[in-house]
Amino acid sequence: MSQHVKNITDSTFNDEVTGTSGPVLVDFWAEWCGPCKALAPVLNDIADDYVDAVRIRKINADENKEASGRYNVRGLPTMILFVDGEEKERILGLVSKTRIAALLDRYVEG
């Protein structure tokens, strides 16, 4: 895992995501989820590419039901982009690095 990707839990969600300013991409995943595992290296690359612009956080949906329920996460992987603590967009399923970067670029000041 990239040093720029951080695992969070229900108890740290506010401190790491909703209680912060700027963009945070949260990856809801689970150990049994094959597409989640395939997405991990893509998110590592994204985290390295956007190190000064976007924080990347991962939360295990099985172990953290509160956040998964609050944001109505029904399929995995689900990535939700928060900006200044508010949900702005979400991507469901395994997608390309290009698609994730295009989403982030809409919210990152160039």
% the chain with pLDDT above 70? 99
User: What's the pTM?
Assistant: 0.96
Confidence of residue 2 (pLDDT cuts 50, 70, 90): confident
Q: What is the pLDDT of residue 9?
A: 98
Catalytic pick among 33, 54, 76, 81: 33
What ranges do the domains of the chain cover? 5-105
End-to-end CA distance of the chain: 26
pLDDT tens digits, 30-65: 999 999 999 999 999 999 999 999 999 999 999 999
**Average pLDDT for 1-7:** 92
User: Mean of the per-residue pLDDT values for the chain?
Assistant: 96
Does the active-site annotation cover 36? yes
Q: What is the pLDDT of residue 25?
A: 98
Does the active-site annotation cover 33? yes
CATH of domain 5-105: 3.40.30.10
Q: What is the pLDDT of residue 1?
A: 80
Q: What is the pLDDT of residue 71?
A: 98
Q: Is the pLDDT of residue 110 over 90?
A: no
CA distance linking residue 90 with residue 63, whole number of Å? 20
Catalytic pick among 5, 26, 36, 103: 36
